[in-house]
């Protein structure tokens, strides 16, 4: 009996010592991952600047020319179809000129300002940014798929249900032809949508990852669609400072060759982690 008591006391002492020396010191892997767990927003700082990433919970939504889009819809927004997506993280803001310079070391934009969205960048340029950011951070950054972009613009599972990203009143959420004074504006100066994403409508258009297909919605996979397997033009979304309200709708689609650069065309990033 005494032997068992002594053994029990020994185990308690060992346990107490382990808790005292290690309980308040999480291992390196736990510390590294604490801000990027599924469902948690995080700040990417590994490249010398801050990039806010918003967690978008996976779910199912109706993509395309839904009822609230009104009479402005175009043929390539049809048919409305059900899409299911996995969880992903998306930038709260369009990539800024300061962030671009920190990663790429260049200043391509026509309008100048650290907090202005980077523009005058091609699809190829945007992909190069994502690849370099991935190398710098050890995470996988990329452009959003067209479905991810629209799901996020609509508010994800929060579901704004609005014509533009966060409101039916475009002036609340977007810099566009009627209020931009013919220039870009610092990111995040209009209201966000339900997910806390800014400038999904207006300011600058945003490149998406996929090829453009005018009839793609008729045959699109229902789960994590990536876009057509080939094409000549890449998709971009969201409207811009020099575009009318109809082009800033959450379902509106645009496309250009991947080498095109324009003063109203930028991007935001997605992280798979």
Please choose, from the candidates 109, 104, 155, the residue with its C-alpha nearest in 3D space to the C-alpha of residue 130. Answer: 104
What tens digit of pLDDT does each residue of 57-79 get?
A: 999 999 999 999 999 999 999 99
Q: Where are the beta strands (DSSP E) in 75-173?
A: 81-85, 88-91, 141-142
Is the pLDDT assigned to residue 7 strictly greater than 50? no
The residue assigned the tokens 């690849």 is: 131
- In 3D space, the residue among 162, 264, 269, 205 whose CA is nearest the CA of residue 171 turns out to be 162
Within a 10 A sphere around the Cβ of 179, how many other Cβ atoms?
A: 13
What digits encode the pLDDT tens for the residues 248-258?
999 999 999 99
Q: Are 74 and 251 in contact (CB under 8 A)?
A: no
Distance CA 17, CA 20 (A): 5
DSSP 95: P
Lowest mean pLDDT among 28-32, 66-70, 101-105: 28-32
40-271 carries CATH number 3.20.20.80: no
Q: What is Dmax (Cα atoms) for the chain?
A: 88
What per-residue confidence (pLDDT) applies to 45? 95
For 172-207, the pLDDT digits (tens) are 999 999 999 999 999 999 999 999 999 999 999 999
Domain ranges of the chain: 40-271
pTM over 0.75: yes
pLDDT at 24 over 80: no
Q: What confidence tens digit (pLDDT) does each residue in 209-247 have?
A: 999 999 999 999 999 999 999 999 999 999 999 999 999
User: Is the confidence at residue 5, as pLDDT, over 70?
Assistant: no
What 3 state SS string does 160-219 have? CCCCECCECCHHHHCCCCCCCCCCCCCCCCCCCCCCCCCCCCCCCEEEEEEECCCCHHHC
* Secondary structure class of 83 (helix, strand, coil): strand
Can you tell me whether residue 94 is helix, strand or coil?
coil
């Amino acid at each position: 009996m005494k032997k068992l008591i002594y053994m029990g006391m020994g185990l308690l002492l060992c346990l107490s010592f382990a808790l005292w020396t290690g309980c308040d010191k999480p291992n390196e892997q736990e510390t590294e991952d604490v801000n990027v767990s599924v469902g948690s927003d995080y700040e990417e700082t590994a490249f010398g600047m801050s990039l806010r990433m918003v967690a978008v919970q996976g779910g199912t939504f109706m993509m395309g020319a839904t009822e609230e889009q009104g009479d402005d819809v175009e043929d390539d927004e049809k048919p409305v179809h059900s899409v299911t997506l996995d969880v992903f993280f998306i930038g709260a803001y369009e990539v800024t000129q300061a962030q671009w310079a920190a990663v790429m070391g260049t200043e391509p934009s026509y309008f100048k300002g650290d907090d202005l969205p980077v523009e005058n960048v091609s699809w190829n340029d945007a992909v190069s940014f994502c690849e370099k950011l991935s190398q710098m951070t050890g995470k996988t950054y990329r452009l959003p798929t067209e479905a991810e972009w629209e799901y996020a613009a609509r508010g994800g599972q929060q579901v704004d249900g609005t014509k533009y990203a966060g409101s039916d009143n475009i002036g609340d959420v977007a810099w566009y032809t009627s209020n931009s004074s013919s220039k870009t504006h610092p990111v995040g100066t209009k209201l966000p949508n339900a997910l806390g994403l800014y400038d999904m409508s207006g300011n600058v258009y945003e490149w998406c990852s996929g090829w453009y297909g005018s009839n793609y919605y008729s045959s699109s996979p229902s789960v994590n669609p990536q876009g057509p397997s080939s094409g000549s033009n890449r998709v971009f979304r969201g409207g811009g400072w020099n575009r009318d309200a109809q082009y800033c709708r959450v379902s509106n689609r645009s496309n250009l060759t991947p080498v095109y650069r324009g003063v109203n065309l930028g991007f935001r990033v997605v992280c798979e982690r």
